[in-house]
C-alpha cells in the first residue's frame, strides 16, 4: 500500500478515469450513423466513414461523406433562412445566442468527454480550457448581437458563410466562427474536420434544443473534397477557414475574383523568447503551456524556444527536468498532461520531420510515451536556423531550443520565418518586453504568458499565417460590412501601352521627361522604353514603361524606408500637410495637366481641390489612428494595437488620375506604410507631376515609389512578390481575379474592387474604412499583479 508520506514525496497522482457513460449513450443513440444537419434536422446517413478514438483505435461512430448535392442543400437552406434571420432585431438574435450559451453550459461535460474521445486531448484541457472558452464566445457574441446596430452603424451581414474548421480544437474553432457569424445576422454552413466531427454534430443537436431557427446553422461532414465544394460554392458570400497554409493558399486561389469575403487562420512557427532576467521557473511552465499543451497540435504553439545565452544552460536543464515529469497516456485520466496524436497520419508526419531534423544535426531530449498513437514531449537542441525543425510547422509536442546573445539577434531569429501568428516574450523588464513586442512580426504577442485567449481579444496572423481576425470587435467586423459600391459601367482592361514613336506630341520649349520615382529619386526604366500618353486632342507626352525589374527596385527601396513606420503620427502628419501645401501652390499646373487629358476646366479644378482636401484629411488622421484596450480576463492588460501593413502595392483606377492616386496612396502612408504605386495607365502624368511635390515636402525616399506602365502586368509582379505585404487593386474584373490568385504565394492581404465602382470625388473616396484596411491589429497580452 502506498503511504501518504510517499505520495507527498513523489507527488504522483493516483488513477482518476473519467466516466464516459453519458457520451457513449449519445453515441449509441446514433449507432446507425450520422447524416448531415440541414435545415434543422439530420439527413439519413449515406456513404459513411468511421470516426475513431485516437488513443485506442476504437471506432466511435460513422458519419456521412458530404458530396456536392449535400453542400447544395445546406447552402440553399442557409440562403432561405438568412433574410429572416438578418431582419430580426439584434435583441432577438442575442436572445437566441444567450439561450444557446445556457444550453451549452448544461451539456458542457458531455461535450468535453466527446471532445476527448474523438480528438485525444486530455480531458482536463477539454473540460477546463476548451468548453469554458466555447461558452464565453457564445455569450460574448450574444452581446455583440445586442449592440451591433450602434457599434457598426450602416453595416450589413455578409450573407451565407461557409466555414471550415480543423481537428485540433474542433468545438472551440466552431464557436470562434459560428458565434460572430450568427450574431451579425449571417447564416452558416460549416464543415468540421474529417477526423473530429462529433462535437460539431452534438452542437447541432444542442442548437436545435435551444430553439435556433431552422436553416440558420447547417453542418455537412466529410473530407477535403467536401470542404472544397463548400468554399467554392457560388452561393457562399463569406469563407472562413482555419487549417494548413497549403489549403489556405488553395482557397485563396479558388475564391479569387468571386467577390467572397475571406478570413484565413493558418499555420505558425511561433517564437518563445526568454531573456536573461526572466523568471526561469515561470518560463519553463510557459513552455509546458505553449508547446506541450494539446499535444503541440496548436497553430500558435511556441515551438521555437529562443533563450539568452547567459541562462541557456540552466534553462535547458530545468526544462528537461520538467519534461521528464510530464505524463503521456490515456486522455480520459484526469492527471494526464499529454494525450494522443489525433490520427496515425499526423503521427507519421511528426516522426518524419523529427527524423529529418536529426539527420540535419539535431540532438533530441525526450520524455516517455506509451505505444500507440502517442508521441513523447521532445526538446531538440543543436538545431540550425535553416533546419527543417526550425522552419517547418511540426504540429506535435516538439520544440527546438536556440541561444541568442542580444535582443537584436533574438528579434532576427524570431522573424526568421514565413509565418507570423504568435510570439511569447519572457522578461521582468516591461520596457524591453514592449520594445520586442513591437518588433516581432506576429499577430498576437504574450508577455510572461502563453496561449492566453479570450473572446474579446482579436486573434489572427500575418504573412503565411493568414489574414483577418477572430474574436473581439475586429472579428465581429469580419462578418459585417458596408454595401460594396457597384459600377454602372465596369472598368475595362486598358489597351497595352504602345512603345513606338508617335506623331503629334505638343511642342514645348524644353522637353519634360516623366521618369519612374524610386527611393526618392527619378529613375529611367530598366527596359529603356516609353509609351505615349493620350490626351483630348492627341498625345500629351511620354511616360516610362516600367518592367518587373523596376518593380523589384521599387520594392527594395520601400523595404529600406522602414523607419517611416517608426515615425510618430504627428511627424507623419506634418509631412502630409506639407505635401498638401505644395500641391496647393501648384494647383494651376495640375489643373492644366488634367485639362490636357480631356477634363473640363471646372472638373479639373474640382479634382485638384478635392485631392488637396483629401491630403489634409489624411494628415489630420495620421496621429489619430489608435487601438483599443479590450476587456478580457482578470490580471491582464490586453492591447489591440493598430500597426501598418508594411510594403503595399497599389494599382490605381484609370479614371480620376490625380484624385484616384491620392485617395489610394495617402491613407497608406498616413498609417505608416510604404507604397509602390501604379498610377492610372492611361493618364500617369498627373502622378509623375507629384515627384517634385514629394521632393519638396520632406517625404523620405522610398515611402512612395511610382512605376508607370502596363498596370495589370506590373500589378501581377507586385502581387507575386514575397516582400510585398499587401496589395490594393482598383481595376477590371480580370485584374481582380489575377491579383487575388497571385497573392496566394505569401498570402498577402488584398483589397480588390472595380476601379469604376467608387465615386472617388465623393464620400466613398475617403474615410475610416481606408485607414482600417491600411492597418492590422496586433494583440499584446500583459499580465499584472501576483
Residues 301-360 have pLDDT tens digits of: 999 999 999 999 999 999 999 999 999 999 999 999 999 999 999 999 999 999 999 999
Q: Cα-flanking dihedrals φ and ψ of residue 288, to 5°?
A: -60, -45
**What was the pLDDT predicted at 592?**
92
All three cell numbers of 254, joined, read 479558388
- The DSSP element (H or E) to which 530 belongs, if any, is strand 530-535
Tell me how far apart the alpha carbons of residues 114 and 184 are, in angstroms, rounded to a whole number.
29
How confident is the model at residue 14, as a pLDDT? 72
Written as nine digits, the cell of 115 is: 471532445
Per the CB < 8 A criterion, the answer to whether 306 and 404 are in contact is yes
pLDDT at position 485: 84
The pLDDT of residue 510 is above 80: no
DSSP assignments along 419-443, one per residue: --SEEEEE-S-HHHHHHHHHHS--S
C-alpha cell, 567:
515615425
Other beta carbons within 10 angstroms of residue 439's beta carbon come to 16
Q: Looking at residues 369-395, what average pLDDT do you find? A: 95
Quick one: cell of 360? Answer: 540535419
What are the residue numbers of the active site?
Answer: 265, 299
Is 2's pLDDT higher than 70? Answer: no
Flag whether pLDDT at 9 surpasses 80.
Answer: no
8-state DSSP, 127 = I
- How far apart (Å, rounded) are the C-alpha atoms in residues 250 and 157? 25
Q: Could you read off the pLDDT of 227-272 as tens digits, one per residue?
A: 999 999 999 999 999 999 999 999 999 999 999 999 999 999 999 9
With cell 517611416, the residue in question is 564
CA-based nearest residue to 183, from 121, 136, 139, 135: 139
Which residue do the cell numbers 514565413 mark? Answer: 418
Give me the sign of the Cα torsion angle 29, 54, 300, 461.
negative
Write down the pTM of the prediction. 0.94
Mean per-residue pLDDT over the chain, rounded: 95
At residue 538 the predicted structure's pLDDT band, cuts being 50, 70 and 90, is confident
pLDDT tens-place string over residues 645-695: 999 999 999 999 999 999 999 999 999 999 999 999 999 999 999 999 999
Q: How many residues does the chain have?
A: 786
Classify residue 492 by its DSSP letter: P
| Model confidence at 629: pLDDT above 90 | yes
**Would you give the DSSP letter of residue 320?**
H
The whole-number pLDDT of residue 775 equals 97
Determine the Cα–Cα distance for residues 729 and 748; give it in Å rounded to an integer.
Answer: 13
Residue 352's pLDDT is what? 96
Amino acid at each position: 500500500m502506498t503511504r501518504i508520506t510517499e505520495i507527498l514525496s513523489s507527488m504522483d497522482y493516483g488513477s482518476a478515469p473519467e466516466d464516459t457513460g453519458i457520451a457513449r449513450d449519445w453515441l449509441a443513440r446514433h449507432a446507425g450513423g450520422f447524416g448531415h444537419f440541414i435545415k434543422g434536422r439530420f439527413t439519413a446517413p449515406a456513404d459513411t466513414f468511421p470516426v475513431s478514438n485516437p488513443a485506442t483505435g476504437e471506432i466511435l461512430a460513422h458519419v456521412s461523406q458530404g458530396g456536392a448535392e449535400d453542400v447544395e442543400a445546406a447552402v440553399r437552406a442557409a440562403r432561405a433562412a438568412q433574410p429572416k434571420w438578418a431582419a430580426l432585431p439584434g435583441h432577438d438574435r442575442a436572445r437566441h445566442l444567450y439561450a444557446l450559451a445556457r444550453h451549452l453550459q448544461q451539456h458542457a461535460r458531455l461535450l468535453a468527454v466527446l471532445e476527448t474521445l474523438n480528438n485525444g486531448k486530455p480531458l482536463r484541457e477539454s473540460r477546463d480550457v476548451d468548453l469554458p472558452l466555447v461558452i464565453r464566445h457564445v455569450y460574448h457574441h450574444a452581446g455583440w448581437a445586442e449592440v451591433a446596430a450602434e457599434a457598426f452603424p450602416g453595416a450589413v451581414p455578409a450573407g451565407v458563410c461557409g466555414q471550415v474548421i480543423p481537428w485540433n480544437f474542433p468545438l472551440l474553432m466552431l464557436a470562434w466562427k459560428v458565434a460572430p457569424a450568427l450574431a451579425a445576422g449571417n447564416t452558416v454552413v460549416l464543415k468540421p474536420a474529417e477526423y473530429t466531427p462529433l462535437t460539431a454534430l452534438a452542437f447541432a443537436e444542442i442548437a436545435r434544443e435551444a430553439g435556433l431557427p431552422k436553416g440558420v446553422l447547417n453542418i455537412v461532414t466529410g473530407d477535403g473534397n467536401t470542404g472544397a465544394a463548400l468554399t467554392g460554392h457560388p452561393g457562399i458570400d463569406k469563407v472562413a477557414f482555419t487549417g494548413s497554409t497549403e489549403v489556405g493558399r488553395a482557397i485563396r486561389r479558388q475564391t479569387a475574383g468571386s467577390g467572397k469575403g475571406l478570413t484565413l487562420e493558418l499555420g505558425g512557427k511561433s517564437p518563445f523568447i526568454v531573456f536573461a532576467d526572466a523568471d526561469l521557473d515561470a518560463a519553463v511552465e510557459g513552455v509546458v503551456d505553449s508547446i506541450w499543451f494539446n499535444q503541440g497540435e496548436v497553430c500558435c504553439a511556441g515551438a521555437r524556444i529562443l533563450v539568452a545565452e547567459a541562462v541557456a544552460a540552466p534553462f535547458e536543464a530545468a526544462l528537461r527536468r520538467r519534461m521528464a515529469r510530464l505524463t503521456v497516456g490515456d486522455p480520459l485520466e484526469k492527471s494526464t498532461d499529454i494525450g494522443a496524436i489525433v490520427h496515425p497520419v499526423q503521427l507519421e508526419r511528426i516522426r518524419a520531420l523529427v527524423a529529418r531534423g536529426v539527420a540535419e544535426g539535431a540532438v533530441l531530449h525526450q520524455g516517455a510515451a506509451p505505444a500507440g498513437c502517442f508521441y513523447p514531449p521532445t526538446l531538440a537542441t543543436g538545431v540550425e536556423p535553416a533546419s527543417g525543425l526550425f522552419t517547418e510547422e511540426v504540429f506535435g509536442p516538439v520544440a527546438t531550443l536556440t541561444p541568442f546573445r542580444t535582443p537584436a539577434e533574438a528579434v532576427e531569429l524570431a522573424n526568421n520565418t514565413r509565418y507570423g501568428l504568435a510570439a511569447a516574450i519572457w522578461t521582468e523588464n516591461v520596457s524591453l518586453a514592449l520594445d520586442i513586442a513591437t518588433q516581432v512580426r506576429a499577430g498576437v504577442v504574450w508577455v510572461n504568458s502563453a496561449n492566453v485567449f479570450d473572446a474579446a481579444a482579436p486573434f489572427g496572423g500575418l504573412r503565411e499565417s493568414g489574414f483577418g481576425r477572430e474574436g473581439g470587435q475586429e472579428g465581429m467586423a469580419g462578418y459585417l460590412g458596408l454595401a460594396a459600391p457597384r459600377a454602372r459601367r465596369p472598368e475595362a482592361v486598358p489597351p497595352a501601352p504602345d512603345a513606338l514613336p508617335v506623331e503629334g506630341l505638343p511642342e514645348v520649349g524644353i522637353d519634360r521627361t516623366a521618369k519612374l520615382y524610386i527611393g526618392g529619386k527619378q529613375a529611367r526604366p530598366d527596359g529603356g522604353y516609353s509609351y505615349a500618353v493620350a490626351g483630348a486632342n492627341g498625345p500629351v507626352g511620354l511616360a516610362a514603361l516600367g518592367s518587373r525589374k523596376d518593380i523589384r527596385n521599387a520594392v527594395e527601396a520601400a523595404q529600406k524606408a522602414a523607419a517611416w513606420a517608426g515615425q510618430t503620427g504627428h511627424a507623419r502628419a506634418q509631412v502630409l500637410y506639407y505635401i498638401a501645401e505644395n500641391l496647393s501652390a501648384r494647383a494651376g499646373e495640375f489643373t492644366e495637366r488634367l485639362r490636357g487629358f480631356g477634363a473640363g476646366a471646372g472638373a479639373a479644378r474640382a479634382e485638384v481641390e478635392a485631392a488637396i482636401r483629401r491630403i489634409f484629411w489624411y494628415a489630420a488622421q495620421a496621429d489619430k489612428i489608435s487601438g483599443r484596450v479590450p476587456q478580457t480576463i482578470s490580471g491582464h492588460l490586453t492591447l489591440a494595437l493598430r500597426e501598418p501593413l508594411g510594403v503595399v502595392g497599389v494599382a490605381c483606377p484609370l479614371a480620376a488620375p490625380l484624385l484616384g492616386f491620392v485617395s489610394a496612396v495617402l491613407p497608406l502612408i498616413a498609417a505608416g506604410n510604404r507604397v509602390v504605386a501604379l498610377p492610372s495607365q492611361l493618364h500617369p502624368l498627373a502622378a509623375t507631376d507629384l515627384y517634385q511635390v514629394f521632393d519638396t515636402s520632406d517625404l523620405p525616399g522610398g515611402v512612395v515609389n511610382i512605376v508607370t506602365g502596363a498596370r495589370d502586368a506590373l500589378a501581377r509582379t507586385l502581387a507575386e512578390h514575397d516582400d510585398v505585404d499587401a496589395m490594393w487593386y482598383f481595376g477590371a474584373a480580370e485584374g481582380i481575379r489575377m491579383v487575388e490568385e497571385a497573392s496566394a504565394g505569401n498570402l498577402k492581404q488584398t483589397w480588390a474592387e472595380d476601379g469604376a465602382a467608387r465615386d472617388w470625388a465623393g464620400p466613398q473616396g475617403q474615410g475610416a474604412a481606408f485607414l482600417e484596411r491600411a492597418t492590422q491589429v496586433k494583440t499584446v497580452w500583459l499580465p499584472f499583479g501576483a
